[in-house]
A = this chain, B = another copy of it.
Amino acid sequence: MSAEQHLISLGLVLPHPPTPKGVYKPVVIDGKHCYISGQGPYLPDGNLITGKVGKELNAEEGKQAAQQVGLTILATLKAYLGSLDQIKRVIKVLGMVNATPDFESHPYVINGCSELFAKIWGEENGIGVRSAVGMGSLPGNISVEIEALFELV
């Protein structure tokens, strides 16, 4: 199955691709590389998931927020490239959790996005290198922000 077919079979609803909230482009193409700006956890109704993980959200809720970030990334890629099948593989993910100073389960949280990508593009191509870390704060108090680098077909 292709990435687009995987997306359909998963039955997941993509949020609307967000418009930039500052002076940046959502996507930049550089040869065979596709850079995507840091994306937030948009819901299909246009709202964002907010609150610090470790306080307002527990790790499981943080993981769900990371999945919404993943879906927002998919929506942005589709809007820009026309199809998720234009992506050959994930090269790199930087997963940033808006966490309390004592939070320790960042990898578990960011898996919410990484597991989604693995389902869309497969275990080999959907998984890249990654850092999963805790920020002191994030824009609009969103719970998770993720930026990524993909290789195009």
- Cβ-closest chain B residue relative to A90: B28
Interface size class of A (residues with CB under 8 A): 35 or more
What are 12 A-to-B residue pairs whose CB atoms are below 8 Å? A22-B108, A23-B111, A23-B115, A25-B128, A30-B151, A35-B91, A35-B92, A38-B133, A104-B140, A105-B139, A131-B145, A132-B139
Question: Whole-angstrom distance between the alpha carbons of A5 and B40 in the complex?
Answer: 37
A11 within 8 A of partner (CB) = no
- Cβ-closest chain B residue relative to A102: B137
Contact for A114 among B23, B30, B118, B151, CB less than 8 A = B23
CB atoms of A129 and B26 under 8 A apart:
yes
Instruction: Taking A23-B118, A25-B127, A104-B137 as given, write out 12 further A-B residue pairs in contact, using a Cβ cutoff of 8 Å, ordered by the A residue number.
Output: A21-B107, A30-B151, A35-B128, A35-B129, A37-B129, A99-B136, A100-B136, A106-B137, A129-B147, A131-B147, A134-B135, A136-B136
Question: Whole-angstrom distance between the alpha carbons of A132 and B111 in the complex?
Answer: 22
Question: Whole-angstrom distance between the alpha carbons of A94 and B38 in the complex?
Answer: 9
> Which residue numbers of A lie inside 8 Å of B, CB to CB?
21-28, 30, 35-38, 52, 54, 91-94, 96-97, 99-108, 110-111, 114-115, 118, 127-141, 145, 147, 151
